[in-house]
Amino acid sequence: MYQVLEQSLSEEELKGRSDIPQTLEDFMSEVERSKSDAREFTQKLKEMVTLMEQRTAKIQEYLYRHVASSSIPKQLHCLALKLANEHSINADARLQLPEAELVPTLVDNNYFHFVLASDNVLAASVVAKSLVKNSLRPHKIVHHIITDRKTYFPMQAWFSLHPLSPATTEVKALHHFDLLSFGTYGEGSESELQALSPKCNSMMNHIRIHLPELFPSLDKAVFLDDDIVIQTDLSPLWDIDMDGKVNGAVETCRGEDKFVMSKKFKSYLNFSNPIIARNFDPEECAWAYGMNVFDLPAWRKTNISSTCYNWLDENLKSDLSLWQLETLPPGLIAFHGHVLTIDPFWHMLGLGYQETTSFSDAESAAVVHFHGRAKPWFDIAFPHLRPLWAKYLDSSDRFIKSCHIRAS
């Protein structure tokens, strides 16, 4: 028995093993059923304990990675504080957004509606500015900016003092919506998920799954992440025939960059788990969040939103073993069968983790996405790619200047 317990087991030896008990209750049931001898009993116990230790270590690794890559730079913290102060002392920083005469545009399907969910004022300002600056019809653009309670005053102050006319800008916080009517995680699970991966499992990051409820009057909307830059007019996205599909997205399994564009379902989902293996094809092409076209009437005919939450609960019951702790995997599942592939020109990925991306290639894309740890507002951003983002910063702006936010 001691020899068995002292043996080390590698992750590879246990990977894909469906015969290892997942809980102590399963272990005891199997022992009673199989009438194991002492050696077999010890071997099973060793395997189960080792597997549980490996899972715990993986969860801790995800948490440490998250903390390391999501700490707020002091410049961004400074900007939020100064804008919050401005909101409290300056009536011009508390304007109604949009102004009264433009409110009807918020539900007018003759306009181009873009939704951005962010708690990062600087990032949101770049996305919004790049969208308007590169639009051929900026007067037809409607920004719907959604933020959290703590960022609402700074976000309202920024867009009140930096209007993007002739576009229409709406700023709302999560507490302005009736979130209680939306699907939620099972009892107690949301707090557990928040602790394990605050970014990936926050309501802010899952708000896109509720677009039909948030905007019941809209027919089509483009959802934008806050780590992108728009470099061309996006109005042609409204000419795409969605062919009954809900989500127009760029695939990520084909392309010249074999590192960025080689993602399939097996890259995100754990196919050693029988629940995943029964329901999905590991070789199916994945697609990207970041810039997505949503057909909302088609969406309302589906159960996509409830499917997403059902699988989030299932993942929790499976000790977070169904997929990597990211935002995309539950999206891959929820939108399965509802995705229309769009031209990769519209969305170039990898600028936050692929240093070999050339500036000229990135400059020719409609939207560039800095997903990954090297966000353009971090010091670890790739120097040759950061100018694509920094060109939309105004270094002379008093808030940018006082917080020492550099454009280069």
pLDDT tens digits for range 242-281: 999 999 999 999 876 666 678 999 999 999 999 999 999 9
pTM of the predicted model as reported, rounded to 2 decimal places: 0.80
Mean predicted confidence (pLDDT) in 53-74? 65
| 300, pLDDT greater than 50 | yes
pLDDT grade for 136, boundaries at 50, 70 and 90: very high
The enclosing H or E element of 3 equals helix 2-6
Mean pLDDT of the chain, nearest integer: 86
Structure tokens at 105: 């545009």
Integer Cα distance of 34 and 43 in angstroms: 13
Structure tokens at 38: 């002492």
Q: Which amino acid is at 334?
A: A
| 347, pLDDT greater than 80 | yes
Structure tokens at 9: 């087991």
pLDDT tens digits for range 192-207: 444 444 455 566 777 8
Residue by residue, DSSP assigns 379-393 as: TTS-TTTTHHHHTT-
pLDDT grade for 319, boundaries at 50, 70 and 90: confident
